[in-house]
Amino acid sequence: MAGVSDQSQNGGWRGRFSAFALAFALFGVLWFFIAAAGTKLGLWDWKVGFGQLTMGWGPKIVQTALGVSVLAVIVSLVAAPRKRPFMLALAALLVSGLSLGRLYATGENAKRLPPLHDIQTDWTNPIQPSEALIAARAASGGYNKIEDAPVIEDGAKGRWPGMEGRLVSEVQEEAEFDPETQKKEVSAPYPKIETLVYPAVTVDMAYEAALATVKAKGWTIVTASPESGHIEATEATFWFDFKDDILIRVLPEGDHGSRIDVRSVSRVGLSDLGANAKRVSNLLDDIDQLLR
């Protein structure tokens, strides 16, 4: 009798189904960590971890978990007792709903941001990569080229119709916040990115400040040449090990001044989700703090 009473109190098969729905919803969350951790541990490359497991299977698993959770909620209300089955089903619905909401928000943010992976302060005089950096990008499987006047690839046509074939420099300029024409309340995809110009800071001082900032960020330095004023470094993301290269150029400005330009380029991918623009902006701010 006690066993029958316990089973009745737990909701029987309805309780077990609700528990399964919750476990499935939690698995949907865990799936993304599995995809990322496997890439981090070298079990598979980023094309599998990010492309197939995260972007391919991830949304499908979460959507299925949401459907199962909804069904569990309905089933839990069929007959008494309802408390335990309903609470488990509601928890499953909450977990899967939040997961799907997160995916939707990420997708909408990707649509809002332009399909760029190459950002710099001065497109009229693009920073050129060294042979060492080009070799490092090729060795890691990086297929994005570093060009003087790159255009957005045809692959953008599906998600960003009308963007394909446009100059990256023009799209970047349109995406940046312009304090002269926009109010502070207006949201722009990118911060304003401009060359740092110091009329009274020597090239040597500017170069040392830039190099010190790069070292403080823990980036891997590829080349550093005080003679040419060029610094090249690489930052890798923690989970999927995506590598972006940062190119810094320090040149004379007037008789006693200097100017600092920065370029950040992803090795793979069509859109960087704003990562390069944010990196360039933060780097410029950090260098400026040292020199002001």
Write out pLDDT tens, residues 86-141.
Answer: 999 999 999 999 999 999 998 888 888 899 999 999 999 999 999 999 999 999 99
- 53 and 16 within one domain: yes
- 158 and 23 within one domain: no
- 137 and 205 within one domain: yes
Domain boundary among 71, 90, 112: 112
Count of beta carbons in the 10 Å neighbourhood of residue 220: 13
- 264 and 194 within one domain: yes
Of 183 and 148, more confident = 148
pTM (two decimals): 0.84
Count of beta carbons in the 10 Å neighbourhood of residue 190: 22
Specify the pLDDT at position 182. Answer: 55
- 13 and 107 within one domain: yes
45 vs 56: CA distance, rounded Å:
15
Q: How many domains does the chain have?
A: 2
Domain CATH code at residue 231? 3.30.530.50
Domain boundary among 78, 112, 146: 112
Write out pLDDT tens, residues 155-181.
Answer: 888 888 899 999 999 999 999 976 665
Specify the pLDDT at position 78. Answer: 83
- 86 and 156 within one domain: no
Could you write out the DSSP letters of every residue in 172-206? HHHHB--TTTS-TTS--SB-----EEETTS-HHHH
**Which helix (DSSP H) or strand (DSSP E) does residue 266 occupy?**
strand 257-266
Domain range for residue 188? 118-291
- Torsion angle defined by CA atoms of residues 198, 202, 207 and 209, in that order, rounded to the nearest 10 degrees: -70
- 162 and 47 within one domain: no
